[in-house]
Amino acid sequence: MNYVAPLRDMRFNLHELFDVSAHCERLGNGLDRELIDGVLEEAARYTGEVIAPLNRNSDEQGVTLENGEVTTPEGFVEAYRQYVDNGWASMTGPTEYGGQGFPQMVACNFHEMLMAASLSFRIYSGLTEGAVLALYKHGSDALKNAYLEKLVSGRWSGTMCLTEPQAGTDLALLRTKAEPQADGSYRVTGSKIFISGGEHDMSENIVHLVLARLPDAPAGVKGISLLLVPKFIANADGTPGERNALTCGAIEHKMGIKGAATCVMNFDGATGWIVGEPNQGLACMFTMMNDARFQVGLQGLGIAEQAYQGALAYARERLQSRALTGAAQPDKPADPIIVHPDVRRMLLTQKTLVEGSRMLAAYCARELDLEHGHPDAGARKAAGKRAALLIPIVKSFFTDMGQEVASLGVQVYGGHGYIREWGMEQLMRDSRITQLYEGTNGIQALDYIRRKLMGDGGAELRAIQDEFLGLCDELGALSDLVGPVRARLNQWRELTDEVLARVAQDPQEIGAVSVDFLQYSSYVLLAGLWLKAAGRARQALEAGSEEAPFYEAKLHSARFYVRRVLPRASSHREALLGGADCLMAMPEAQFAF
């Protein structure tokens, strides 16, 4: 399946909605529009010509494990060499360790391209950037000097080792141990499962960030430490040295992302070094996890874009039946299926969910950048609060959206969508994992309610609502859009108060309302962003833009979203107002069949 990066839409977000040039000036990184556009154009070439052609074969071939060594699909090693040699790996890395310091607001577009071209390929490099963040923020100078430059360059890759057979979401149950040694190192013993890129043949070394317990650690999550455990221990000159006491015991056989090695990793007294303070590993890991969750959201977005591109191309080419109003192309034996209203419904649903989510990705990336790079401490703190609120929405909504859009892609293809040779069913299989790893979407919804909404009594959420209500005031001339969006924003404010009242009275309500409230919030957020896009499109058209079809499409899309997709919010509202009692009243025994 071909992939063409949606550069025009990405530039619309960067330059016309969020003014990335002013953003970069605020961050002081020296990037300008010409450089940003040039980088993204080259990224589009690399992902379209080098990575996308690998995706089908990686699904057919998978990975192999022999004598503890993993071999990746054909073409992956050479594509990764280009990834490193051309500087893509170092794109977001800190400049003092050889990185280029690109902001997430720019880099997230390249990362979306990678996800769309081949999710399996991207998985090997994805967690390295999170490992860099965790080590840069919490590691000792000695660890930074020994490992960061290699990780930033991509010559060495990183993993995140949390999950154990008995400890998935509940990390309080983990058993991996770390025994202190006289030289300040630790001996790490235990098994981790579901480790993405835990073993492979693409990088010189693999640096594992492992959660473990010290001998005197308190029980529960307060007794978890983070350790750096490399496959090869670094020599004094920075080269890979002695092989550490860790092995890949097995690779998982999965329904999707078959070109990505998902490993069982066994640590048998492996040498490691603590990152951060003892028993503060979970806080250190969350530095990495927030980035990982944002990246997983981009995985859903990338797959959705690829599914939309495939569905659109097929709908334009596939001839079946005649238009309801009569032959649209009488010179052909039948009309292309894009003339049919129901096919249009599916394509427009795909398009508006994808483009709306891309706007939200840029919005969230801006806050992530400001959290780490704004010169003012107060602004950094404010951006951190906003980013923290948005991360569970991005992770869960984008991945649910990716699965829906991939499923709609299969539907547009009809029976051909169910056949492997077209590639659409692979997207549906590959996307399914995104709703599960880095915290299932149900866990994201709980986080959204418990830690984010209840944590500040809804203050940050109300600030977002106020922001978009202010936008409604600015764009009053777009009355057909402003009216329904304003009504939803006001309803969202009322629903926020209702949810806070319910969860305060009954803790079961936290779990009962969480998914529906997150979904409601997501649909309304996208409506606000579509209103923003419509305002910019109207402005461009009034100015006589030479790209009128592009801006007209934005207005058409905004109207479709508000009239045909936003009403989904009503069902989520009605569902969450149904209460927890109907969920919890039935005795467990009555679930039997």
Closest Cα to residue 336, out of 321, 358, 353, 354?
321
Residue type at position 150:
K
Number of separate helices (H) and strands (E) present in the chain: 20, 11
CA separation, residue 354 to residues 25, 105, 398, 479, 547 (Å):
28, 17, 9, 24, 21
Q: At 578, is the secondary structure helix, strand, or coil?
A: coil
Q: At 532, is the secondary structure helix, strand, or coil?
A: helix
Task: Round to whole Å and give the CA distance between 314 and 92.
Answer: 36
Closest Cα to residue 112, out of 31, 26, 20, 43?
43
Q: 138-157 burial, b for 16+ CB within 10 Å, e for fewer?
A: bbeeebbebbbbbbbbbbbb
Task: Round to whole Å and give the CA distance between 399 and 297.
Answer: 6
Q: 204-219 burial, b for 16+ CB within 10 Å, e for fewer?
A: ebbbbbbbbbbeebee
Q: Give the HSE-up count for residue 582: Cα atoms under 13 Å, Cβ half-sphere.
A: 6
Closest Cα to residue 43, out of 107, 118, 120, 136?
107
Q: What is the DSSP letter of 1?
A: -
Which of 367, 438, 460, 509 is catalytic? The answer is 438
Asked whether the beta carbons of 320 and 334 are under 8 A apart, the reply is yes
State the sign of the Cα–Cα–Cα–Cα dihedral 282, 287, 288, 292: positive
Q: Which residue has the tokens 């379209």?
A: 48
Closest Cα to residue 109, out of 397, 301, 391, 247?
301
CB atoms within 10 A of CB 336: 18
Q: Annotated catalytic, 367?
A: no
Task: Round to whole Å and give the CA distance between 571 and 52.
Answer: 38
Query: For residues 307, 291, 243 and 190, what is the CA-based torsion angle, rounded to 10 degrees?
Result: -100
DSSP-assigned letters across all residues of 304-334: HHHHHHHHHHHHHH-B-S--TTS-SSTTSSS
Asked whether the beta carbons of 399 and 436 are under 8 A apart, the reply is no
Indicate the pairing of strand 64-66 with strand 69-71.
Answer: antiparallel
Active-site residues, by number, are 438
